[in-house]
C-alpha cells in the first residue's frame, strides 16, 4: 500500500470512527501516550458523564419555582401548576419542584443523589446558540479564540508530571474519553486523544480482509509519528470493543431505556463503563429544547422532551447500579429562556438556566444556587432569570472533587473562581 492509498484508506477509517479533526495536531502532548493500552484489566476509577441539552432548555419549567408568585403571573398559559393540582409540579422543598415529566428523577432526589442547581449559566450576554454553546464547551465565555474544550484540557493535564516529580510510564485507554455523537463535540476538541461515534455498532474500520490487514500493518510498522500513533490507537480500540461484545449486552437492575437516540446513547455509555475499558469521561447530547412556539406546560412539546430525558437518565443510573458510587452525571444547556411567555405560546432566548448533578458522592436532596427572584427589578435586562452561579464554578468543582483535577487555572483559564456550590 503506497502513501496515496494510505491517506485515502486512513481517512475513511478515521471518519468512520469519528476521531477528532485535531487528531493530527497532538504532538504537543506526546504521541508516545497513544501507542495502545492494555486489552484487559483497565483500572476502575471515577467517571464523569456530561449531557448537553442543545437549544436552551427552559429552566423555569424544568425546576419549577412554584413558590414564586411572579412565575404564574408572567406565564399564564405555560406555567406548571402548583403541587397538588392536576399535572402539577413534583414538590422538592416547598418552593421548587420538578416538571411532572421528570417524575423518573424524583426517586434519585429521595435517595439523596440528585442535586439541581438553579440560576446557573454563563456570564456572557450572548443570545446566540452557537456562541453560548461554544463558550460553555470551551469554558471561556466571550473568548472566541479558544481552540480546545475544557474537558480536553482536563484530559491533557491530568496525570502530567509537576516540577520535581517522577513521571510514570502509564498509557491511557483508547476509551478514556468517549462521545456518543457523530462528530467530536467542542468540549472534547483538543490535543488529548478522544473518540466520537454514533453507536458502538458503527465503531469499526471500513476496510475488510487483506485491505484491513495491510492498513493495520502500515499503521503499526510505520515511523513513530502521530499518524502511526493514531492508527495504533484506532485498532487497539476496535479490539477492546470487540472483546466487550456489545451486541450481547443486557441492561441490569430492571433498567428500561427509551427507544430513542438519546436513550440508546446512554445505554451504550453504560455498556462501555461496565465493560471496564477505562472510560473516564463520556459525552452525549440531545436537541429539541428551542421552544419558541407551542412549548406547552405539563403536556406538550417540552414535556415530551423531558419525558425522554428523564427516563433515559433514570435507566442509566439503574443500569449502573453500585457503579454510581464512582460516576457523576452532569447536565447542561447553553442558556435559559425568557421569564415571560411569548405570543406564540413559547419562550425566547434567555440568560440563566438550571442543571442537574447526579452521583453517589453528590450531596443531594437540595436545590443549590442563590434564587434571584422573578419580580421586574430582579430580572436580567428586564426579561430573564438573573445569573447567580457561574457554570465554571460547578464544572470546576466536579472536575476537582470528582475527577481529582488539580490544575484548574489551566482547565478554566481566566476564571478567578468563585465559591463552589458545595454539591460534592
What is the CB neighbour count within 10 angstroms for residue 282?
26
Domain ranges of the chain: 37-202+255-411
Q: Give the mean pLDDT of 96-112.
A: 98
Spatial separation of the C-alpha atoms in residues 175 and 237, rounded to whole Å: 7
Q: Half-sphere exposure of residue 160, counting CA atoms within 13 Å on the CB side? A: 15
From 252, 270, 318, select the one nearest 105 (Cα to Cα).
Answer: 318
Q: Give the mean pLDDT of 309-322.
A: 98
Question: Which one has a higher pLDDT value, 347 or 406?
Answer: 347
Point out the least confidently predicted range of 79-93, 153-167, 348-362. 153-167
Question: Which one has a higher pLDDT value, 229 or 416?
Answer: 416
- Write out pLDDT tens, residues 250-304: 999 999 999 999 999 999 999 999 988 899 999 999 999 999 999 999 999 999 9
Give the per-residue pLDDT at 244: 64
Give the per-residue pLDDT at 206: 40
Cell triple for 384: 430573564
* 273: alpha, beta or left? (left if phi > 0; alpha if psi -120 to 50): alpha
Q: Is the pLDDT of residue 19 over 50?
A: no
Q: Give the mean pLDDT of 107-115.
A: 98
From 280, 281, 278, 252, select the one nearest 267 (Cα to Cα).
Answer: 252
Spatial separation of the C-alpha atoms in residues 49 and 317, rounded to whole Å: 11
Q: What is the largest CA-CA distance in the chain?
A: 72
Q: Is the pLDDT of residue 132 over 80?
A: yes
Spatial separation of the C-alpha atoms in residues 399 and 412, rounded to whole Å: 10
- Write out pLDDT tens, residues 58-73: 999 999 999 999 999 9
Place 173 in a pLDDT band, splitting at 50, 70 and 90.
confident
Residue 19 CA from chain centroid, whole number: 18
Q: Is the pLDDT of residue 221 over 50?
A: no
- The sign of the torsion formed by the CA atoms of 110, 111, 112, 117 equals negative
Give the per-residue pLDDT at 116: 98
Q: Is the pLDDT of residue 343 over 60?
A: yes
Q: Is the pLDDT of residue 176 over 90?
A: yes
From 122, 121, 59, select the one nearest 96 (Cα to Cα).
Answer: 59
Spatial separation of the C-alpha atoms in residues 9 and 216, rounded to whole Å: 11
Q: Give the mean pLDDT of 162-167.
A: 41
Point out the least confidently predicted range of 112-116, 172-176, 415-419. 415-419
Question: Which one has a higher pLDDT value, 391 or 165?
Answer: 391
Average pLDDT, the chain: 84
- Please give the CATH topology (third level) of the domain spanning 37-202+255-411: Alkaline Phosphatase, subunit A (3.40.720)
Amino acid at each position: 500500500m503506497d502513501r496515496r492509498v494510505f491517506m485515502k484508506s486512513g481517512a475513511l477509517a478515521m471518519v468512520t470512527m469519528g476521531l477528532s479533526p485535531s487528531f493530527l495536531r497532538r504532538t504537543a502532548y506526546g504521541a508516545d501516550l497513544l501507542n495502545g493500552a492494555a486489552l484487559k484489566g483497565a483500572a476502575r476509577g471515577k467517571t464523569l458523564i456530561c449531557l448537553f441539552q442543545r437549544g436552551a432548555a427552559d429552566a423555569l419549567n424544568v425546576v419549577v419555582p412554584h413558590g414564586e408568585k411572579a412565575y404564574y403571573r408572567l406565564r399564564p398559559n405555560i406555567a406548571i401548576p402548583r403541587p397538588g393540582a392536576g399535572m402539577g409540579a413534583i414538590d422538592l422543598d416547598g418552593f421548587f419542584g420538578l416538571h411532572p415529566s421528570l417524575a423518573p428523577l424524583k426517586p434519585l432526589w429521595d435517595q439523596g443523589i440528585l442535586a439541581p442547581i438553579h440560576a446557573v449559566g454563563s456570564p456572557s450576554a450572548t443570545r446566540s446558540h452557537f456562541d453560548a454553546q461554544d463558550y460553555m464547551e470551551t469554558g471561556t465565555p466571550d473568548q472566541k479564540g479558544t481552540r480546545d474544550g475544557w474537558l480536553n484540557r482536563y484530559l491533557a493535564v491530568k496525570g502530567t508530571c509537576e516540577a520535581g516529580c517522577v513521571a510514570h510510564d502509564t498509557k491511557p485507554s483508547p476509551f478514556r474519553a468517549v462521545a456518543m455523537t457523530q462528530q467530536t463535540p467542542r468540549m472534547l476538541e483538543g490535543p488529548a486523544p478522544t473518540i466520537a461515534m454514533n453507536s458502538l455498532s458503527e465503531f469499526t474500520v471500513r476496510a475488510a480482509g487483506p485491505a484491513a490487514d495491510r492498513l493495520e500493518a502500515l499503521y503499526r510498522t510505520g515511523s513513530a509519528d502521530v499518524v502511526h500513533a493514531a492508527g495504533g490507537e484506532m485498532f487497539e480500540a476496535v479490539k477492546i470493543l470487540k472483546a466487550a461484545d456489545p451486541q450481547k449486552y443486557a441492561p441490569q437492575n430492571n433498567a428500561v431505556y427509551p427507544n430513542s437516540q438519546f436513550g440508546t446513547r446512554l445505554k451504550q455509555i453504560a455498556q462501555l463503563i461496565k465493560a471496564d475499558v477505562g472510560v473516564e469521561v463520556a459525552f452525549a447530547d440531545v436537541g429539541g429544547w428551542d421552544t419558541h412556539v407551542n412549548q406547552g406546560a405539563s403536556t406538550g412539546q417540552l414535556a415530551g422532551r423531558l419525558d425522554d430525558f428523564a427516563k433515559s437518565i433514570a435507566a442509566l443510573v439503574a443500569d449502573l447500579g453500585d457503579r454510581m458510587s464512582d460516576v457523576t452525571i452532569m447536565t447542561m444547556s447553553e442558556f435559559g429562556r425568557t421569564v415571560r411567555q411569548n405570543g406564540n405560546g413559547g419562550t425566547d432566548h434567555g440568560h440563566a438556566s438550571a442543571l442537574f448533578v447526579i452521583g453517589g458522592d453528590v450531596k443531594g436532596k437540595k436545590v443549590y444556587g442563590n434564587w434571584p427572584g422573578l419580580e421586574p427589578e430582579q430580572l436580567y435586562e428586564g426579561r430573564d432569570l438573573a445569573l447567580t452561579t457561574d457554570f465554571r464554578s460547578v464544572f470546576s468543582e466536579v472536575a476537582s472533587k470528582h475527577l481529582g483535577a488539580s490544575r484548574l487555572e489551566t482547565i478554566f483559564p481566566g476564571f478567578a473562581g468563585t465559591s463552589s456550590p458545595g454539591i460534592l
